[in-house]
Structure 1
Amino acid sequence: MTMEFMRVVTLAEAGSMCAAALAAAGRRGVRVSVGVVDAGGNLVAFQRMDGAEIAGPELAVGKAYTAVANSCATHELTEAAAPGGGLYGLQAASGGRYVVFGGGVPLWWEGRVVGGVGVTGAPDAADDVACAEAAAAVWE
């Protein structure tokens, strides 16, 4: 019997991803929070820029969790979760933990989602997405 190796997101890697997201936010002139979770949606690392919104700890981690749970970027869920969409009400699932607007991206390894990163706080969700993608680029 062979044991299959499952890649995990280490604290050091999560810290590097947080730093990349914050650097991207700094270049964009926005203040954000960033959270990195493992394959089970459990928090590995979190950072919040000085002056970032107070909802950051909940929303950033929620976006990362949602990306893992749905195996897709959270901005891909926005339209489907809106009234009339095929996933309408998704944001109420999992005790309201799902966040269905941009800023969450899954982390992939050998065809499996092994973690996620979530960024929140920018006035425009496109900035959250760009910062999350900068963090994910560190993983890749």
Structure 2
Amino acid sequence: MPTIFSKIISGEIPAYKVAESIDFLAFLDISPLAEGHVLVIPKQEVDNLFDLDDELYTGLQLFAKIVAHAIKQAVPCIKVGVAVIGLEVPHAHIHLIPVNRVDDMNFARPKLQFTPEQMEATAAKIKAALHRDFENEA
């Protein structure tokens, strides 16, 4: 049975996408711990991150690094925290969370809620930062 993430990849379920490649997708978490909380996933449905083959695993990490740099530019924060828990959805994923203090990564605290307009604006800011990065490299 396809996971919710597979349904996002196929377009069955909408998402606030911030980056996409042939193998990977990054989109805003709909139950975020902070503005700019992004999930980065492989398009291949694999439950456990460490069950990905080496090429896909390293590609996912590099993709996450690119997205994290854009988040840092788009959302005021000291750092972008990284978490891999993997219990919520049986599809490998990486949480990228803008943080200003350790408690910002506390998954037990209440999640934030943003309007669709706020989510769209945050996604747009991250996408714009990604484009600036690629333009600066050219």
TM-score tier (shorter): 0.3 to 0.5
TM norm structure 2: 0.33
